[in-house]
Amino acid sequence: MLDLTARELSAKILHGEITSVEATEGVFERIERIEPTVGAYISTFKDYALSRAADVDRRVAAGEQVGALAGVPVAVKDNMCMSTGATTCASKILENFRSPYDAHVVERLEAADAVIVGKTNMDEFAMGSSTENSGLKQTVNPWDATRVPGGSSGGSAAAVAARLCFGALGSDTGGSVRQPAGFCGVVGLKPTYGRVSRFGLVAYGSSLDQIGPLTFDVADAALMLNVIAGHDERDSTSVSNEIAAPCDYLEKLDEPLSGLKIAIVPEFNAGADSEVQNAVAAALEVYKGLGAELIEIRMPHFEYAIAAYYVIATAEASSNLARYDGVHYGHRTAAPADYVEVYSKSRAEGFGDEVKRRIMLGTYALSSGYYDAYYLRALKVRNLIRQDFTKAFEKADCIMMPVSPTTAFKVGEKTADPLQMYLADIYTIATNLSGVPGISVPCGQDSSGLPIGLQIMTPAFTEEKLLRIGRMFEKHTDHHTKKPDI
């Protein structure tokens, strides 16, 4: 049963072949067995999940209308507010925070009758690329417990890869859905900025953050996007239906695109490890075999994306994280000498090192005398990066490149040097700066058996096309069916 995709499971539940309670109990049995090794979840809620599952089963049996994810056990990254359980952002400062409301995506999942089994681990406040910055626990890669699952949505990726749920939500600010999906051998979709409401997503870099699904295959990603996409007036950057209405992403999913033009940037592919290069080259051959044409392009400003990102994202973070003041919610220092110490000691005690670094970097970039040199310049470079994408999409339907330059690295390998950790996101960050959607699709394994991801990007609000392009590959390969031996 745990080998089924979310789509297959939901069909079986609808036809009465499996109950949601059976599926949910199966997931919790596996969680009890495997989770001590993987560490994907910060919290699980078995009683809540089973009562929701029983309710779905009752309605299915009574022939009532049920939602698109009826009875399917799923997980949610712990930076999305949920009125059940705690919402911690993997931070000590929010360790005991209980959200009084549900995030838009949580409402949508529950309205679609999904069964949320728990909240997944992450880098604290989504700041990191390995989930090692979690202030609460360690998650390992289900393919090799000595390696990281990627980050920041490492818990969601590991939970899906280890079959501890049938799909999960993550958030992607600079690659935080796609990179862990690539490291863990699952599909990870970052929709266009504005496609999914951020209401109730704890903010990191507000002009970059976007929620997306991590799933067993592209079809499941389409299914979950169907549930979470669409306008929400509580997020003023959520795109209106007049500008770009979502569609049924499953409807034409299995129709391949003919005459597909794929842009590739030869020097990017050459910049990855040789085994990653080979797997991506083989994936491109599959597309060529399906009639696609490869077009070599240049994206001259792409190499500046990490530098621009670490100014823009940290500037936004320094402002967003000012709300953790020890007054309204979250940790407060035990014995402040004065009012200022309520802030400065609570924050010093509650935040981990990476969060402190990014708050200070952003504060520095915005401070008097440095604003023009760093922040304004980074915004201009952001424009140049977006122009690279615009020009690429004039010539091609999509761009393909690796998700990451390497496969999953060792736990502890990059923690001593923050800059080296940042450079691991070289292929994913530009997408967030320009807003376009991107997907990570499994495309092979290295000689140690670690998964490799192919990244595909398309123009803004063309997720339908993006998913169809990914699906074409999946139907002609079996990489997405490989499972870790855990």
Partner 1 sequence: MAKKIDESQVRQVAKLSRLDLTDDEVARFSIELSAIVEYIEKLNELDVDSVEPLAHCLPIGNVFRADEIRPSLDTEAALSNAPQRHDEYFKVPKILDDNSGA
Closest to partner 1 by CB, 95 vs 275, is 95
Contact 14, 70 (CB under 8 A): yes
Task: Specify which residues 215 forms β-bridges with.
Answer: 187
Q: How far is the CB of 41 from partner 1 (least distance, A)?
A: 22
Rule CB under 8 A: which residues touch partner 1?
Answer: 96-98, 100-101, 193-194, 207, 233, 236-237, 239, 301, 304, 306-308, 310-311, 318, 322, 325-332, 336, 338-345, 347-348, 351, 356-357, 359-361, 363-364, 367, 374, 376-384, 386, 418-419, 422, 433-435, 460
Name the residue among 402, 352, 410, 413 with its Cα closest to residue 149.
Answer: 410
- The residues facing 438 across adjacent strands are 190, 457
Query: Which one of 91, 129, 152, 153 is the catalytic residue?
Result: 152
For the question of residue 440 being annotated catalytic, the response is: no
Quote the strand ranges of 6-70, DSSP E. Answer: 41-44
Nearer to partner 1, 256 or 418 (CB): 418
Q: Is 401 helix (H, G, I), strand (E, B) or coil?
A: strand
Closest separation in Å from C-beta 394 to partner 1: 17
Radius of gyration of the chain (CA): 21
Q: Rounded to the nearest whole angstrom, what is the least distance from the CB of residue 395 to partner 1 in the complex? A: 20
475 is catalytic: no
Positive or negative, the CA dihedral 460, 124, 424, 170 is: negative
Distance CA 394, CA 297 (A): 11
Judge contact between 4 and 219, C-beta under 8 A.
no
Distance CA 114, CA 155 (A): 19
Letter for the amino acid at 358? R
User: Would the CA dihedral through 358, 359, 361, 366 be positive or negative?
Assistant: positive
Per-residue burial over 327-356, b = 16 or more CB atoms within 10 Å of its CB, e = otherwise:
eebbbbbeeeeeeeebbebbbeebbbebbe
Shortest CB 364 distance to partner 1, Å:
5
CA-wise closest residue to 192 among 171, 168, 210, 172: 210
Instruction: List phi, psi (to 5°) of 329.
Output: -165, 170
If one counts every other C-beta atom within 10 angstroms of the C-beta of residue 192, the result is 23
* Shortest Å, Cβ 283 to partner 1: 27
Please report how close the Cβ of residue 128 comes to partner 1 at its closest, in angstroms.
14
Nearer to partner 1, 82 or 186 (CB): 82
DSSP 3-state assignment of 402?
A: strand
Token pair in block for residue 165: 């749920």
* Catalytic choice (20, 129, 171, 176): 176
Catalytic residue among 10, 20, 77, 434: 77
Comparing CB distances to partner 1, the nearer of 244 and 282 is 244
* Partners of 168 in the β-ladder: 75, 214
Cβ proximity to partner 1, 48 vs 343, nearer residue: 343
Q: Which one, of 320, 407, 340, lies nearest residue 141 by Cα?
A: 407
Minimum CB separation from partner 1 for residue 453, in Å?
Answer: 23
Strands lying side by side in the sheet with 293-296? 41-44, 115-120, 73-77, 168-172, 210-215, 187-190, 438-445, 451-457, 398-402, 261-264, 293-296
Choose between 163 and 358: whose C-beta lies nearer to partner 1.
358
Identify which of residues 12 and 414 has a Cβ nearer to partner 1 in the complex.
414
Of the two residues 349 and 446, which places its CB atom closer to partner 1 in the complex? Answer: 349
Comparison of 323 and 476: residue with beta carbon closer to partner 1: 323
Q: Answer whether the bond into residue 206 is a cis peptide, omega within 30°.
A: no
Query: What is the separation of C-alpha 109 from the centre of its chain, rounded to a whole number of angstroms?
Result: 16
> Is residue 77 among the annotated active site residues?
yes
Minimum CB distance to partner 1 smaller for 143 or for 374: 374
- Quote the least distance from Cβ 341 to partner 1, whole Å: 7
From the CB of 175, what's the least distance to partner 1, in Å?
A: 16
- CB of residue 86 to partner 1, shortest distance in Å: 10
**How far apart are the C-alpha atoms of 182 and 94, rounded to whole Å?**
29
Structural contact between residues 168 and 214, judged by C-beta atoms closer than 8 angstroms? yes
- For the annotated catalytic residues, the residue numbers are 77, 152, 176
